Amino acid sequence: MTAKPLYRYADGRVPNTLAILYTALAYGGGLALLLAPNGWLNALGTLLLAHGMIIAAYLIHEFAHGAIFSVPKHNEWAGNVCSWLCG
């Protein structure tokens, strides 16, 4: 019995990994910048957080179609995480 690959499509490994990583870093970084004492950093944090949430919304769509991971349960879990990030 062979293990399933993580991603559904082999050519999607790099772009999907980068999109998921960007979403996590933009969300965390944007939140951190919102807590900074500088107004300009707060504004940058707002934009970064919003962009991370937009990418998370696109990812929700892909997870719902099962287009990212090869195991349906992984798509469901990741979709729930992105849904939580989008609020």
Q: How many domains, in total, are found in the chain?
A: 1
Task: Give the contacts of 51 (CB within 8 A, at least 6 positions apart).
Answer: 26, 30
The answer to whether residue 38 sits within a structural domain is: yes
The boundaries of the domain holding residue 81 are 10-86
- The arithmetic mean of pLDDT across residues 44-61, rounded, is 97
Phi-psi sector, 4: left (phi>0), alpha (psi -120 to 50), beta: beta
Instruction: Note whether residue 35 is domain-resident.
Output: yes
Q: Is residue 5 part of a domain?
A: no
pLDDT in tens, 5-38: 999 999 999 999 999 999 999 999 999 999 999 9
Q: Helices 72-86 & 13-34, crossing angle to 10 degrees?
A: 30
Do the domain assignments include residue 4? Answer: no
Asked whether residue 48 is assigned to any structural domain, the reply reads yes
Q: Is residue 37 part of a domain?
A: yes
Global pTM?
A: 0.91
Flag whether pLDDT at 1 surpasses 80. Answer: no
